Chains A and B, each alone.
Chain A
């Protein structure tokens, strides 16, 4: 594939083309004067075509009066008039299209900051910020959809919630989410279950149900598509990173523009190459006893980590129970609302402290490759967070509906508190964690050096934060607002902390694979978990009887049943009813679909095996061809 520069060769020009070429070289006033002075023998239509060509090629506003001139003259020829008007319109659109596009490109959120971070720290750190921006867009979309379809109809109608007179806004609501906020549109409890009669009959129940479910389904589809495309690009044929050829020829990041960063990268590359050379020189087989010892260490630490994670989950469970009993007992606390902050505080504290232990374990374990080390650490952190979240969700699904009459807002408030306290801890962690490490690393204990930006830990933190928002959307439709503010502030905070306190990661590479892993993590445990919680709530739990849009129903999903009954009454929409009864409600359909998908997966798997064999054969062929042809 050889490229050569193709210069445009203009074939024998016509009279018009010569004229155009002359005109292009002139200034605009000269152009107009010359066109006006064209000989009378030029037919009017040819004249028009000439003007049109010049206009299209030059895109000048000043030729615009000529157009108008011609439009005025051509009242005898309607067709010509229409043609000119259409061309004019197209020109206007094209012009505006360009300016809108260039404005939108320059307005692209945080483009300059991303460029700066990519230039100084490389693509693996940039992945964190790209993911943060992507999740922010999810939340903005969620807010727009929820606000537009659920909140605005409620506010516009007469049924907007009114605050009872003895409750006023105190500052504590910002932290606890209860009190004054309980009576606003923030939570599920304030939404009504009526149908608004107005220009259109707007059924609040259906609106609430469908908005939330459509949003979750759309999120799922977006995640699936981006995960699949990421897998295809970055995972299918990837090579091992300890490969010298890769390190030398493919790993240099051309986008780094900072002299210090470039020098650091060069140092790192030199160290990595030396390491890989010494590995090759001194690689000896480990003896059996050493191997056993190594496996024993792995097993011990894995047991310890799993025990820690399970222990944290159990302690959160008992803490929730304790808080419940304290609330029920008569001689309660001084400030019952501040007590509700205890559980979120403990959860966030665990999420901050326990991963430090996991990093400590990692130092003793000596994994053979850096990739396995990162995966082990990630897996343990994910296990910890999932166990805590799982316990909390179990408590919310099982205990809370029995203890409260209006239980959905209670869950919403609990999630709100978790989100806020998590945010506070993220801020403190960034300020103190990275800032203190920098101070310790540079002034007190210079051997440690400037801290690296730990991409995996930070990404896991924002994935966890987003999961809380996803679980909370059903119980508190306006929670995305808090999430938007949180991510917005977090972006700037992390950027400042990064630039002042951290250095680029020492081991370069595998940024693309890590990105795939992050999207996979976002989807499989976290999003699917959140979706299952919401689905379980909608399917099995009884909505509270006195508040919320689904009051009085057996479960939320029966809203669709009622809707189908209504639709059934109209004969024109019978096909909807047919689809509902024979596709969505029937089990045979799902059984057949599953069977077909399994068969297709098996076929594709066999195809992949065949392709792998083909690759091996082709590689042998290349070697044969190379050895047959004499070198030049």
Chain B
């Protein structure tokens, strides 16, 4: 027994549940484990005692070096989407958000929303041709010719664009996700 410090109060745990989307049944028990993973990235920066809400942000380089993310072609976009400042520097809340959405239990709509944001490189709430080209280049190591890239992007827009405006909106994307049952298991990082 003795003077074991609590890391979070029950109040803080409840707060995390509200932040990480009230419809998401985040497993509260995962928080100590995720917290220790967060702390392991920079033990000298992250205090053990979070009851005072310390303002600690880990830089993107540390987040991107995690074994679960370091080989992912979209790690930079993932960190940018989930970080508060949009640059990839994550607080503990951002970190928990990220792994909650990428966990097994997150609902399909939530995952589709965040996947949309990840693929939207220019942050204009639409996936346009340039976003698709960047996605394709990240996924094929720039080994397709320019013509092929163009053809693939046109094909994608042909197939997925329902309202015929030349770019994919969130609804188009969600419609496509609804017809891809594998998505829930592929958009998932195990930690």
Interface residues of A (CB under 8 A from B): 1, 3, 5-8, 24-25, 27-29, 56-62, 98, 101-102, 105, 115, 118-119, 123, 233-235, 237-239, 243-246, 248-259, 262-263, 266, 269-270, 273-274, 277, 280, 509-513, 619, 622-623, 625-627, 629, 631
Contact = CB atoms under 8 A, between A and B. Distances in A.
B146 interface: no
A265 B63 CA distance: 23
Nearest to B1: A61
Contacts of A512: 181-182, 185
A277 B21 CA distance: 41
A59 B10 CA distance: 8
Given A270-B144, A623-B164, 6 more contacts: A25-B51, A57-B9, A237-B179, A256-B72, A274-B144, A277-B148
A371 B156 CA distance: 21
B71 A115 contact: no
B189 A6 contact: no
A273 B52 contact: no
Contacts of A1: 109, 113
B151 to A, nearest CB: 6
Contacts of B119: 249
A249 B156 contact: yes
Contacts of A28: 3
B136 A248 contact: yes
B190 A115 contact: yes
- Most B CB atoms within 10 A — which of A98, A115, A246, A619? A246
Given A115-B190, A248-B136, A249-B119, A259 B159 contact: no
B51 to A, nearest CB: 6
B156 A256 contact: no
Counting from the closest, the 5 A-B pairs by CB-CB distance are: A626-B163, A234-B181, A239-B179, A245-B160, A270-B140
B176 interface: yes
Contact of B140 (A7, A102, A273, A623): A273
A273 B136 CA distance: 10
B18 A8 contact: yes
Contacts of A270: 140-141, 143-144
B64 interface: no
B186 A252 contact: yes
A461 B185 CA distance: 25
B95 to A, nearest CB: 13
A273 B148 contact: yes
Interface in B143-157: 143-144, 148, 151-152, 155-156
Given A623-B162, A626-B164, A252 B190 contact: no
Nearest to B19: A5
A57 B185 CA distance: 36
A253 B186 contact: yes
Contact of A258 (B11, B71, B151, B176): B71
A254 B173 contact: no
Contact of B3 (A29, A259, A626): A29
Interface string B51-64: 11000000000000
B139 interface: yes
B130 interface: no
A105 B191 CA distance: 13
Interface in B14-36: 15, 18-19, 21, 29, 32
Contacts of A513: 181-182
Interface in B165-185: 165-166, 171, 173, 176-183, 185
Interface string B81-112: 00010000000010000000010000001100
26 contacts: A3-B21, A24-B9, A25-B52, A27-B5, A28-B3, A57-B9, A58-B10, A59-B6, A115-B190, A118-B190, A233-B181, A237-B179, A238-B179, A244-B155, A244-B156, A249-B160, A249-B176, A250-B177, A254-B102, A258-B71, A269-B139, A277-B151, A511-B185, A512-B181, A619-B162, A626-B162
A351 to B, nearest CB: 30
A59 B1 CA distance: 12
Contacts of B135: 248-249
B184 to A, nearest CB: 8
B182 A254 contact: no
A246 B189 contact: no
B113 A3 contact: yes
B132 interface: yes
Contacts of A255: 186, 188-190
B43 interface: no
A510 B185 CA distance: 11
Contacts of B179: 237-239
A253 B68 CA distance: 12
Contact of B159 (A235, A243, A627): A243
Nearest to B173: A249
Nearest to B108: A233
Contacts of B186: 123, 250-255
Nearest to A246: B180
Contacts of B21: 3
Contact of B6 (A58, A250, A626): A58
Contacts of B70: 257
B182 A511 contact: yes
Nearest to B32: A102
A25 B144 CA distance: 58
Contacts of A509: 182
A3 B189 CA distance: 21
